[in-house]
Amino acid sequence: MHPAPSVIVFTTFSGLGFGLLFWLGLGMPAPTGMTAFVFFVLAYLCAVGGLLASTFHLGHPERFLKAFSQWQTSWLSREGIAAVVTLLIMALYGAGLVFLGAKWSVLGWLGALGSLVTVGTTSMIYAQMKTVPRWRHWSTPGIFVSFSLGGGALMAGQTTIALILLLVAAAFQIASWVIGDNQLANSGTTIETATGLGHIGKVRAFEPPHTGTNYLMKEFIHVVGRKHALKLRIIGAILGFAVPIAFLAVGVTHLTAFLAIASHVAGVLALRWLFFAQAEHVVGLYYGKR
């Protein structure tokens, strides 16, 4: 899959933002006044900034309101609704903390639930794709939710919880690599089933339909990620998990917390890039490529 920068930025930062909102909603921490203001601004910058970035790759972003209409079948529509509802609830909850010093816990819990649902619906956009066997697995929601909650806890200053959740996120990531590497082969979809010619013999793509490239090849066939997959996995895992976990274990100051968060974000960006770049869409089989 083509790793579009807008989608990588969107999933990474909205995941972090909603993760932070989740912990704020649970009252962990429950700051008031200026401190609360800083926390909520940070969370909204990440969540809303991420959502805005996701509109950059649309052909007609001005029609975005229509995208809230098909919640009965579409995970993308559900995600949009969940995100907006959550942001509205948490804006009220945040306003209470910032301006009135009041903690409306029920609103916070609802907002936390909404944050979890939003990240879950984001992950289902990918996990639902039968056409991308690597994604169609429980480890995809596992990665998205654990990254979001772990990164959110890190930003919320919940040291112990962050430590545990980053370990869980790393475990989900490794599981998705180990399982994901065999998903295409295990899916049973091959160039033979794609063409229906397997009963005759071994099929090979002989001549493509055109001399140049096309939308499908640009969108679905990406080989650079796979070429450097192992290196990128190591870099992503070190930056995303090992460095922040080490900082958390050593002890948290403002500086180490900042470094831990910066390293985590860089790592998640690399891992998210790989999440797309490594994923094989079955349409590549028609072109004799993966």
Partner 1 sequence: MTQLPTSTDKKLGLVIDLDTCVGCHACVVSCKGWNTENYGAPLSDQNAYSGAASGTFLNRVHSYEVQPPEGQAQLIHFPKSCLHCDDAPCVTVCPTGASYKRQEDGIVLVNESSCIGCGLCAWACPYGARELDAAEGVMKKCTLCVDRIYNENLPEEDRQPACVRTCPAGARHFGDFADPDSNVSILTAERGGMDLMPELGTSPVNKYLPPRPKDTSTDIDILAPYLTPVAEDGQGFIGWLDKALSAFPGGSK
Which residues lie near partner 1 (CB under 8 A)? 1, 57-61, 63-64, 66-70, 72-77, 80, 125, 128-132, 187-189, 191, 193-197, 199-216, 219-220, 281-283, 286-287
Min CB(7)–partner 1 separation in Å: 10
How far lies 1's CA from each of 49, 129, 247, 278, in Å? 23, 12, 34, 7
How far lies 17's CA from each of 3, 180, 207, 267, in Å? 21, 27, 47, 16
Min CB(229)–partner 1 separation in Å: 21
Q: How far apart are CA 128 and CA 72, in angstroms?
A: 14
Residue 32 or 189 with smaller CB distance to partner 1: 189
Residue 58 or 92 with smaller CB distance to partner 1: 58
Residue 25 or 284 with smaller CB distance to partner 1: 284
Min CB(145)–partner 1 separation in Å: 21
Cα-trace Rg, the chain? 21
Min CB(131)–partner 1 separation in Å: 5
Min CB(57)–partner 1 separation in Å: 7
Q: How far apart are CA 250 and CA 257, in angstroms?
A: 11
Residue 37 or 287 with smaller CB distance to partner 1: 287
Residue 74 or 159 with smaller CB distance to partner 1: 74
Find tokens 């140049």 and name the residue.
212
Q: Is 214 exposed, middle or buried (0-12, 13-18, 19+ CB in 10 A)?
A: exposed
Residue 160 or 206 with smaller CB distance to partner 1: 206
Min CB(222)–partner 1 separation in Å: 13
**What region, left, alpha or beta, does residue 74 occupy, with left being phi > 0 and alpha being psi -120 to 50 degrees?**
beta
Min CB(156)–partner 1 separation in Å: 31
Residue 119 or 166 with smaller CB distance to partner 1: 119
CB 43 within 8 A of CB 21: yes
Residues 6+ positions from 196 with CB-CB distance below 8 Å: none
Single-letter code of the amino acid located at 52 = L
